[in-house]
Structures are given as structure tokens and as C-alpha cells.
Chain A
Amino acid sequence: MAITRNVDAVAPVRSSGAFSIWLTRHTSTSLGALGRLSRQPFASLMIILVIGVTLALPAAINVIVKNMQSVSDSWSNALDFSMYLKKDLSVSDAEDLANLIRQRADIESVGLVTADEALLEFKKQSGFGEALNQLSENPLPHALVVRPSSGNTGASLTLLQEEIGNLPETELVQVDTEWVQRFHAILNIVSQAISIGAVLLGIAIVVIIGNTIRLDIENRREEIEVTKLIGASNAFVRRPFLWTGFWYGLLGGAFALLLVQYGLYLLREPVSRLAGLYQGKIAVASLTITESAAIIGVAVFLGLFASWVTAARHMRRIEPR
């Protein structure tokens, strides 16, 4: 029986690198936290489920809105508007005006529909051909079909229409496609609502994880007291709880991702059937890698944030007696 007094042995921090100690500590603590979660599989699964569903909701709606936006973008030609000219304008006047408007940067193209062409078209499509032949003169004006360039925003489009409507040659500007703009406006509202909803759901996740960690801390109160009593710092006792929060976030985020992808997979079939009916080329866009990473990243951040705040609050209160 011999106890050798070894001074070096009391100072291990100097004998191996600080970084490798840091790494070893974190590796073992993170695995320990994961092991702890797996030892109460049901409780852990419930938390992960809640986080997953809570995150999947805004993510899924976001994907749907994104898909709708891409569909409605393909209707950009629907943003054309018709500009009916005053009756007394000649064809050459109309052509000059068309050339003038065409030079604007915010206009992609201008097409001229002369009164004669319009009448011919109308006769063909309306079926009133015979009746229209009875007219002594063509009641239709010349019209310009104006297609704004794609760089326009909703506001600049309205401005453009107003400007063109105010030209002395203009009789009437008719936007046939106000519904597209309304649709875009609705989509904008929906995406705004998602952002607000996502913030609220994020707060909910923080509360859920924070509460779980708080219970965990209470359950391990004695262990924390003992470890502090034999010299553990706040950082040391906090570390396992931070890792627990990290794992909740990571696994919850992964589950959310799975939910969204599976939902999109289920939608693929009916959407392609719908697209077939409309002869359209509509395909469901799934999450990009960046978006997937963002979901996971947000989940991990929320988990870490929640556990940090909770652990910091409670660790200071638990002091050995």
C-alpha cells in the first residue's frame, strides 16, 4: 500500500492539449445526452414528434406557396393589358404610338390590333358575322396589346397602367388579368402569415424544449448538487443539458423534414393528374438542400437556445447545501 504524491497528476490540463480535452469532453457529453434520451424512448419520441410537427407546418405551407408562386409566374403573359385608342386615330398614328411605347424599358413588347383586324376576329369568334356585316362602319377602335417587361413589380405595373391610361391618345386601359395580381397579393398575405405563424411556433418550440429541460434538471438536481460539491463548474453541469437541447432540435428538425418530404411525395400524383388535365407542365418542387439545411439549422438553434436559457437560469439556483 503506497500512495505516491504525484504533483503532475493533479494538473492534467497541462499534460494534454486544451483542445483535445474540450473535444473529448464534448464528444462524451453529447453521446451521454443521446444515451439518456434513448433510455426514455417514449418521452423523447413525444418531444421530437411535437417539434417535428410544429416545424413541418410552416415549412409545408411555405413549400405550397412557393409552388403556387412558380405556377402563377408562368402566367406572366396574363399580365398583358389592352389599351384602346381614341376613335379618331389613324392606323399610322397607332403605329407611331406603338413604336414610342415599345422604347420604354419597362415594356417588353407592344402589339397593334387594328380596328379591321379586331372586327374580323370578333366576327369569327362571336358567331355574329352576319349581323355585324349590317353595320355601316366599324365600331371598334384600334388597340395596343402591351406586355410589361418581367422586371416590373405590382406597384410599377399599376403606375405603368396609369401612365398609359393618361396618354391623350388613350380611350381606355383594360387589365384583363387583375385576378392574377389578386392571386399574387393573396399569396403574399399567406407568406406573411406564415412568417408570423412560424415565429409563434418557434416560440412554442422554445417553451416546449425549455420546459422539458427544466424537468430534466429538477430530476437530476441531486446529481447536479453532488457534482458541484466536488468542484464542477456551472459550464460543466450545464453541458449535458445543452447537448440534450441540441439533440431534440436535430432529431425534431429531421423529423419535420421527413414529414414535409413525405407530404410532397403524396401530392405528386394528384398534381401531375391535374397538370395533365390542363396540359400544363406543373411539377411539385420539393425542398432544396438549402431549405432542408435551414429547417434543421433553425431546429438546432431553437433547441440550443431553449436549453441554454433554461439551464443558465436553473443552474445558478442549484447550489450544494
Chain B
Amino acid sequence: MIQLDNVTKRFPGGQEAISGLSLSIDKGEMVFVTGHSGAGKSTLLRLIALTERPSDGQVIVDNQNTRRIKRRKIPAYRRQIGMVFQDHKLLYDRPVFDNVALPLIIAGVSYRDAGRRVRAALDQVSLLHKEKQRPETLSAGEQQRVGIARAIVTRPKLLIADEPTGNLDPDLSLEVMRIFRRFNEVGVTLLIASHDITLIDRLGCRRIALEDGKLQQQADPWQ
């Protein structure tokens, strides 16, 4: 599903967020990326979301070489990927329903047809009863679940999440991870950046540990 070949991301200052990274994630896998802040977790996700372009090497997502995706084709590419963010990135001037419907509206689904799918997505994160509320009236955990509902409403094959539990307490974090787990069980590939190692170990998924933009060399005490 995702394949990185010797990828380097160099910033204008010269420092490398990712240097010579190669990795491969299969279809249907649920993989965590761990590492200290600055290890390159976010950059890796941004390279997949095409908010950054690699300086070197190739990023291949769902058999598409992202290098060949032209600027004006990026929106269509992004629509195939569900994205979840640490700060939710919800639109606070409209209700939950409209937030979740947004990817469908962007894809050209009529408001009426969108309704059924939005409710299905909200149901999966157990927020069906809050569709008319504004995001700011929800708790952090609920807001993140709205963000997840928005990411999965188009039923993407790949879902990437950057510190989705970064602002949540352990109980809420576990709940969010369980939701992700359920998606994985029906075939969605997930790539989640997180530093919550205790939580990751409870889930027992593959872990890619990054350090200074490379795969961690030393033997991992948890593996």
C-alpha cells in the first residue's frame, strides 16, 4: 500500500527531516510510527499526504508514484486518503454533520445523498446523537471522533493519523485506537504516528521506530 525507497526530505536550511528512509506497508496492515518529536514522524505522513514532496527517493502509495502526481491532481489524490490530525482540524463555524459531510460535498455528492453516509460514519464513532451540535460544544475526545468520522466517510482504503491521541487521556486514547482497530478489521490500511508506546503495545501492532529521520538501529526493547 505504501512504499518508500530511499526517501530523503531536506529542508531549505539543509537539515534533513528524513534521510534515506525505506519502508513498506502492506494492504490491510495497521502500523504505528514512533519516535521522539523531530524524529520525522510527521514529515513521513506529510510526504504521504503530499503536503510535502521528497527531496530524493520515491514514495509510492496505492501503486501511484507520488512524484508523478501533478500539482492540480493533488486534490483528487488526497480524496483517496482519510486523514486524522492531532488538533482535529474541524471547522468550528458549522455543525458536526456538515463537518463530516465536507469530504462528500467536495467529491460532488449531493447534500441529500450525503446524509445517509454521514450518519453511518457518525454511528461508527458513536456520535450519531450529536450531529446537530457545534464542534466546540464537544469534548476533546468527541471532537477527535468527529475528525475520524470525517476521515472515513468517503470509505478510503488508507487512513493516516498524526498523533490522533496526543491531546486525549488514556481512556479516550484507547477508545480512539479501538475505533481504528475496527476499521483495520474490515480491510482499511492504517498508518498512525504516535509516541504512546504503552498503548501501542496493548494493541500489538507493527511498529516503525524512527530516529533522526532513519529507522532506529539498535534493538528495540519492546520487540
Q: Are these two chains actual partners, yes or no?
A: yes
Q: Which residues of B contact A16 (CB under 8 A)?
A: 110, 113
Binary interface encoding of chain B residues 114-139 relative to chain A, with 1 for a CB under 8 A from any of its CBs, else 0: 00010000001000000000000000
Cα–Cα distance between A234 and B78 once the two chains are bound (Å): 13
Cα–Cα distance between A293 and B57 once the two chains are bound (Å): 59
Binary interface encoding of chain A residues 1-15 relative to chain B, with 1 for a CB under 8 A from any of its CBs, else 0: 111111001101100
Interface residue total, chain B, C-beta cutoff 8 A: 37
The reply to whether B111 and A230 contact each other, CB–CB distance below 8 Å, is: no
Q: Using a CB-CB cutoff of 8 Å, which residues 9-59 of chain A contact chain B? A: 9-10, 12-13, 16, 20-21, 24-25, 28
Q: Which residues of A contact B150 (CB under 8 A)?
A: 230
Q: List 29 A-B contacts (CB under 8 A).
A: A1-B182, A2-B186, A3-B155, A3-B186, A10-B154, A12-B104, A12-B108, A16-B110, A21-B108, A24-B110, A28-B111, A223-B93, A226-B91, A227-B102, A227-B106, A228-B75, A229-B78, A229-B89, A230-B78, A230-B79, A230-B83, A231-B77, A231-B103, A231-B107, A232-B106, A233-B106, A236-B75, A320-B51, A321-B51
Shortest beta-carbon distance from A107 to chain B in Å: 68
Question: In this assembly, does B76 line the interface, its C-beta being within 8 Å of a C-beta of chain A?
Answer: yes
Question: In this assembly, does B183 line the interface, its C-beta being within 8 Å of a C-beta of chain A?
Answer: yes
The reply to whether B155 and A9 contact each other, CB–CB distance below 8 Å, is: yes
Interface size class of A (residues with CB under 8 A): 20 to 34
Binary interface encoding of chain B residues 167-200 relative to chain A, with 1 for a CB under 8 A from any of its CBs, else 0: 0000000000000001100111000000000000
Please give me the residue from chain A that is nearest to B110 by CB atom. Answer: A24
The reply to whether A12 and B124 contact each other, CB–CB distance below 8 Å, is: no
Question: In this assembly, does A319 line the interface, its C-beta being within 8 Å of a C-beta of chain B?
Answer: yes
Cα–Cα distance between A230 and B75 once the two chains are bound (Å): 8
Quick one: given A1-B182, A10-B154, are A231 and B124 in contact (CB under 8 Å)? no
The reply to whether B102 and A25 contact each other, CB–CB distance below 8 Å, is: no
The reply to whether A230 and B155 contact each other, CB–CB distance below 8 Å, is: no
The reply to whether A13 and B93 contact each other, CB–CB distance below 8 Å, is: no
Q: Which residues of B contact A6 (CB under 8 A)?
A: 155
Shortest beta-carbon distance from B30 to chain A in Å: 14
